[in-house]
């Protein structure tokens, strides 16, 4: 038995980690994992926004082309170009709209224009009815007429992304018109 006691009393090396070492390793791993998960979430959100931006820009180009090729409407309102024939949104979540249609007016002596809101020659003015505060009702002939050139503000919204542009539309009777 004595031999056994000597063997038991000899110092044995202790293998393994202490509780403090394990806790520090778990804490470091946790910090690294939180950082990685945060990066993955950020990349996913950014990817979704980038996809919406790309889809909105493509949809805006298609919508602008459809409005550009639609027949010219003298004294057009926003609703006249809102749904051009042959246009269907390529993105189901797309929400295209016309923000404004302004016509070129080369006259300033318009009976509907008041001195306070008279426009400079060859200005683009919105087609609004009398009494609306702007009083620039478009007419098909005479002073205050639509001269065959319109500025159309377009917008496409997909999710939280909004893209807009302005196109110039010419009547076929105007040189260079469509």
57-88 pLDDT, tens digit each = 999 999 999 999 999 988 888 888 888 888 88
Dump the DSSP string for the chain: -HHHHHHHHSPPPPPS--HHHHHHHHHHHHHHHHHHHHHHHHHHHHHHHHHHHHHHHHHHHHHHHHHHHSPP-TT--HHHHSS-TT---SSTT-EEEEEEEEEEE--S--TT--GGG---TTEEEE-B-TTSSS-B--BSSSTTB--SEEEEEEEEEETTEEEEEEEEEE-TTSTT--
pLDDT at 5: 53
The yes-or-no verdict on residue 41 having pLDDT over 50 is yes
The yes-or-no verdict on residue 30 having pLDDT over 70 is yes
* List of residues 6+ apart from 134 with CB closer than 8 A: 117, 125, 126, 128
pLDDT at 7: 53
pLDDT at 79: 86
The structure's pTM equals 0.65
pLDDT at 74: 83
- pLDDT, one tens digit per residue, over 81-109 is 888 888 888 877 889 999 988 887 765 44
Average pLDDT of span 135-150:
65
């Amino acid at each position: 038995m004595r031999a056994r006691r000597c063997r038991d009393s000899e110092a044995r090396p202790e293998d393994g980690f202490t509780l403090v070492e394990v806790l520090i390793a778990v804490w470091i791993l946790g910090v690294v994992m939180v950082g990685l998960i945060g990066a993955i979430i950020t990349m996913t959100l950014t990817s979704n926004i980038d996809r919406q931006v790309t889809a909105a820009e493509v949809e805006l180009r298609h919508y602008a082309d459809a409005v550009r090729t639609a027949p010219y409407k003298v004294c057009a309102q926003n609703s006249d170009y809102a749904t051009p024939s042959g246009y269907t949104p390529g993105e189901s979540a797309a929400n295209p709209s016309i923000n404004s249609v302004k016509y070129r007016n080369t006259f300033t002596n318009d009976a509907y224009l008041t001195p306070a809101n008279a426009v400079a020659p060859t200005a683009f003015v919105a087609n609004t009815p009398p009494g609306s505060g702007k009083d620039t009702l478009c007419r098909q002939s005479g002073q205050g007429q639509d001269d065959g050139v319109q500025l159309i503000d377009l917008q496409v919204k997909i999710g939280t992304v909004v893209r807009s542009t302005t196109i110039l539309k010419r009547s076929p009777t105007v040189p260079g018109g469509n």
